[in-house]
Amino acid sequence: MLKSLVVLLALVAFSECLHKITLIKGKTARESLQEKGLWEQVRKQYPYNPTGKFNQVGTESMTNDADMSYYGVISIGTPPQSFKVIFDTGSANLWVPSVYCSDQACKNHRKFIPQQSSSFRWGNQPLSIQYGTGSMTGRLAIDTVQVGDVSVTNQVFGISETEAPFMAHMAADGILGLAFQSLAADNVMPVFDNMVKQDLVSEPIFSVYLSGKNQQDSELVLGGIDSGHYTGQITWIPLTSATYWQIKMDNVMINGQAVACVGGCQAIIDTGTSLIAGPINDIKNMNSWVGASNNQYGDATVNCQNIQSMPDVTFTLNGHPFSISASAYVSQDYYGCHTGFSQANSELWILGDVFIREYYAIFDTQSKQIGLAQSVN
């Protein structure tokens, strides 16, 4: 009887096995450049444009975010060649640098070598991805892609031939998009969609936990949920568009007052953007309400001594309130303290890593909904 119980428990544990990928929170491009005294020079040359990825003209676009800092390791080819990639729910293509690229950005990163993979095949189309401050161009290819312990065969991906100069300062080599296929350049099937199609994951969902600054346990789970990373109930929010992970936002509240998104707006849950971005006037109003003032570079700065007395900011998503405290939306760097609210020339809001660090995010590709629960940080 005892032996049977042990076997049963083992089978249950096996059936609940999740494919987990550890995400690394490395030094950001901003931090590296600040240490070298180059940040102000570079930011003027390549201005931050958080909604660059949402301005599509024929090809898939991505933002060039100076603070993209969560990445994981994947491999491509036979035998495998390893790359650090940002897992980006705001885009849908996978691409990595290649030996056919001689730009500085490629010289600073690992490059894929097609000739060293016995399973490699060329695709039949060029690839062009527009950034907010530059572009990546290259070619499509087909090979085996391994993410964690999941091996996806016949995956179409991009190998770069040119890359935007700012990519030279990024910690990651490339990007793995987790948005929907309708968003992908050349209608390429995204990696996670291919996992579902090949029956490699138990459920058509993935989830993301982003740890705080001093923690190193950030995690992407393919095919399930890690209940150890959240507390309380999961709130499910239906998508308003299955392109990006787009949902309805009712308003943004501070001290009981609607200060932004008054009357409703659309928002994206985006792991590939570090900040919370919104329309210029709304962000100005939010920063004013929390006591921030703009410095000479347009950053919303606050007195670091005031963080404990600053108000919470509440984002109402499809009727459900999600609050973040000042300790979560204010960060400190070489130049002092500033808020994580960034102005964008768009009516579309981006709830990036500042928001996701506070709320464990579950992405359901089949039911087309997002689950949010309070993170354990």
φ, ψ (nearest 5 deg) of residue 171: -75, -35
pLDDT the model gives residue 217: 83
When pLDDT is averaged across residues 76-96 and rounded to a whole number, the result is 95
Lowest mean pLDDT segment, chosen from 69-73, 228-232, 237-241: 69-73
- Kindly list the distances between the CA atom of residue 113 and the CA atoms of 8, 122, 160, 207, 257, in Å, as whole numbers in the listed order: 46, 12, 11, 31, 56
In this predicted structure, what is the pLDDT of residue 274?
A: 86
- Give 36-51 pLDDT, tens digit per residue: 555 555 555 555 555 5
Parallel, antiparallel, or unpaired for β 61-62 and 341-344? unpaired
What integer pLDDT is reported at residue 211 of this predicted model? 87
Residues with a known catalytic role: 88, 270
CA dist 143 and 152 (Å) reads 8
Choose among 153, 152, 129, 151: nearest CA to 140.
Answer: 129
For the chain, state the CA radius of gyration.
Answer: 21
Q: What is the mean pLDDT of the chain?
A: 85
Average pLDDT over residues 257-283: 95
b/e burial code for range 75-104 (CB count within 10 A of at least 16 → b)? bbbbeebebbbbbbbbbbbbbbbbebbebe
The single-letter DSSP state of residue 92 is -
Alpha carbons 192 and 182: distance in angstroms, whole number:
14
Token pair, residue 97, equals: 């640098």
Q: How many CA atoms within 13 Å lie on the side-chain side of 240?
A: 14
Residue 351: which residues within 8 A CB-CB, separation 6 or more?
A: 267, 268, 269, 270, 276, 315
Q: Which residues contact 309 (CB under 8 A, 6 or more apart)?
A: none
How many residues belong to the chain?
A: 377
Can you tell me the mean pLDDT for 354-364? 97
Peptide bond into 165 cis (omega under 30): no
Indicate the burial class of 373 (C-beta count within 10 angstroms; 0-12, 13-18, 19 or more): buried
- Band of residue 207 on the pLDDT scale cut at 50, 70, 90: very high
Tell me the mean pLDDT in the region 98-116: 96
Which range, of 12-21, 266-275, 360-369, averages the lowest pLDDT?
A: 12-21
DSSP string, 121-137: EEEEEEEEEEETTEEEE
pTM: 0.87
Percent of the chain with pLDDT over 70: 81
| pLDDT tens readout for residues 323-358 | 999 999 999 877 789 999 999 888 999 999 999 999
Give the Cα separation of 125 and 136 in Å (integer).
Answer: 14
> Which ranges of the chain would DSSP assign to H, the alpha helix?
2-15, 29-35, 39-45, 104-107, 191-197, 280-289, 326-329, 353-356
DSSP H/E element including 252: strand 245-254
Q: Which domains does the chain have, with CATH numbers?
A: 20-200 (2.40.70.10), 225-375 (2.40.70.10)
Tokens of 308: 């404990």
